[in-house]
Amino acid sequence: MKKNNFWKKKNVLITGISGFVGSNLAKNLSDNGANVVGLTKKKRKENSLLFLEKIHKKVHVIFGDITNRKLIKKILKKYKIQICFHLAAQVEVGLARREPYGTWDTNVRGTYTLLDTLRENRINIKSIIIASSDKAYGEHGLNKMPYKENYQLKPIFPYDTSKACADMIAQSYASKLFRLPIVITRFANIYGPGQLNFTALIPDLIRSCILNKKFKMRGNGESIRDYIYIDDIVHVYKLLSKKLYLNPKKYSGEVFNAGTNIPHKTKNILKKIFLYGKKNKELKKITINMKKNKTSGELSAQLMDFKKLKKYFGWKPQNKFEHILPTVYDWYENYFKKQYK
């Protein structure tokens, strides 16, 4: 732990702590001396990095729902929360299409329940980070890429709409009407060790390679995406939260994108992972079948402009997909060895 460490003894709430990002953030903050409290409704411990790597033993984990106003109020008062990272969300795009009500309930009602409870119990709170998404922008077309923070939010699909609604609700609570210290983040697709949501492309591809599991690409592989490594995201969260804590008048209400602004066609991500896993024959089969697929229910292109983060704080991503792939792949190999030994 560094001397003059900002995070030492800070009281931090992470909603959605058992998720991929929440778990990694909790580990980093607790290792830096923060008193971390996490809210999660997930009780399946086997598919969460939080429990897999025993991070839960370093933090206070509370099982409950983000829409439970009484519970949130109790947490804020009991632990004297100063900093809040709101990461709790239903993140599966496919599930959102099948069951939009549940997605909107968690992602929209969960956000205004948390923020309104913070509004009424703001005595200790100094910094609130709201995780929106690149999906909130909706379809702008390849010629308008990368997304910039001043782009209109015009989503259509249920998950995308839920994040845009939460985003706008947060902007209202950050306004001069309520003056909560809020920064909103819109990030590209996050990947890295410990992502155990296998509806996400990269962990699904790696699992297919390691377990010789049949893989079917959603769409024809032509969709363009921006992928950012988990360590870069944890760094951004800590950076923004600290800056907001120290200077709320300057930063409250700001929106920041983070990504690499490097376009990856999903078929090229497939190719890189399968070639690294030495699955050349399987790659050929998938590539042939993929061309017959139609892409529906997803945006054609998403790239994130991070010039604002760079201008304000000198930030830029430190990890490229090609360079970090061996680290990510090796983590999953070790994970599956333990699961199936």
- Domain-embedded: residue 92: yes
Specify the number of domains making up the chain.
1
Residue 36's H or E segment, with its range, is strand 35-40
- Domain-embedded: residue 67: yes
pLDDT tens digit sequence for 212-246: 888 888 788 888 999 999 999 999 999 999 999 99
Residue 3 has pLDDT above 70, yes or no: no
Q: Are 129 and 253 in contact (CB under 8 A)?
A: no
List the structure tokens of 115.
């923020």
pLDDT for position 13? 98
Catalytic one of 147, 159, 245, 251: 159
How far does CA 298 lie from the centroid of its chain?
Answer: 18
pLDDT tens digit sequence for 109-156: 999 999 999 999 999 999 999 999 999 999 898 889 899 999 999 999
- Domain-embedded: residue 307: yes
pLDDT band, residue 93 (cuts 50/70/90): confident
- Domain-embedded: residue 198: no
Active site residue 79: no
- Domain-embedded: residue 96: yes
List the structure tokens of 332.
């999953």
pLDDT tens digit sequence for 47-56: 899 999 999 9
Residue 339 has pLDDT above 90, yes or no: no
List the structure tokens of 59.
């933090």
Q: Are 82 and 126 in contact (CB under 8 A)?
A: yes
- Domain-embedded: residue 265: no
List the structure tokens of 288.
């042939």
pLDDT for position 217? 81
Average pLDDT of the residues in 33-39: 98
- Domain-embedded: residue 271: no
- Domain-embedded: residue 80: yes
pLDDT for position 44? 67
Question: Measuring CA to CA, which residue among 111, 102, 101 is closest to residue 15?
Answer: 111
Give the amino acid at 311.
K
CATH code (residue 132): 3.40.50.720
How does the average pLDDT of the chain come out, rounded?
Answer: 93
- CA 103-104-110 angle, 5° bins: 100
Find where tokens 């025993």 sit: 54
Residues 6+ apart with CB under 8 A from 71: 39, 62, 64, 65
List the structure tokens of 268.
């090229």
Domain that holds residue 26: 11-190+229-259+303-318
Question: Measuring CA to CA, which residue among 17, 76, 75, 77 is closest to residue 50?
Answer: 17
How does 270-298 read in b/e, with b if 16+ C-beta sit within 10 Å? bbbbbeebebeebbeebeeebeeeeeeeb
| Cα separation, 248 vs 79, whole angstroms | 22
pLDDT for position 233? 98
